Amino acid sequence: MELYLLGVAACFVMFYVKRISETAIQRIGGVYTYYQNLRKVSPYLGDGHSFFVRHLKIMLLNILVSLTSWLGVLFFLYGILSALFDPISVKREFLTEESKKWAMPLLNNPHLSAEEACAYKCMLDIANGYKPDDLGEDVYACEKELTDVHFGKRVFDGSIALNEIQRLGFFSKEEMTSFRNQYNDVKRYQN
């Protein structure tokens, strides 16, 4: 019984060690700002809730995993070890000069708006081989997901994101018109 309780206590502590070490590794590895920018367009568990509700959910999850005792410790150790390699795997996405060009604002500018972050992420995906045929639909999907996560509060405007993509100068005027039409058509049919 003492061994089980020791495992529960160790697991509870490991949860916080994991959270702190992940943040430290991301900052040292130079990808913390990148993740903060992606979070603006790809919501995480608990986004849209108050500070209290988010941390209550995290605490309940920690308690549930802690009840598994030593298995939970192994789970959190795995999380710490995978966090060590996370900056390397993220930076491997930026091998070409084209992808580096679009990644730099995501990696270095924590003050990007959600729409700017979306534009740079779209361009980074395209530089890494994503076909932009349905870019207008993808931007609308991002807008809808963020609106749903934030309980109907509009925190992202797809038309502004398309303006940001156009400002980056990668697509012709005709392609941008096509993407805007896609966006407007999907938005009209969804509402």
Asked whether the beta carbons of 114 and 146 are under 8 A apart, the reply is yes
Q: pLDDT digit string (tens) for 67-96?
A: 777 788 788 888 888 888 888 888 887 778
For residue 166, is pLDDT > 90? yes
Given a cut of 90, whether residue 179 has pLDDT beyond it is yes
Q: What is the pLDDT of residue 55?
A: 73
Q: Is the pTM of this model over 0.85?
A: no
Sketch the domain layout of the chain as residue ranges.
2-92, 97-190
pLDDT, tens only, 94-117: 778 888 888 899 989 999 999 999
**pLDDT average, residue stretch 25-38:** 88
Instruction: Tell me the pLDDT band of 46, cut-offs 50, 70 and 90.
Output: low
According to the model, what pLDDT value does residue 85 have?
Answer: 86
- The answer on pLDDT for 62 being more than 80 is no
Computed over every residue of the chain, the mean pLDDT equals 84
Distance (Å, rounded) from C-alpha 3 to C-alpha 160?
57
| pLDDT of the residue at 161 | 93
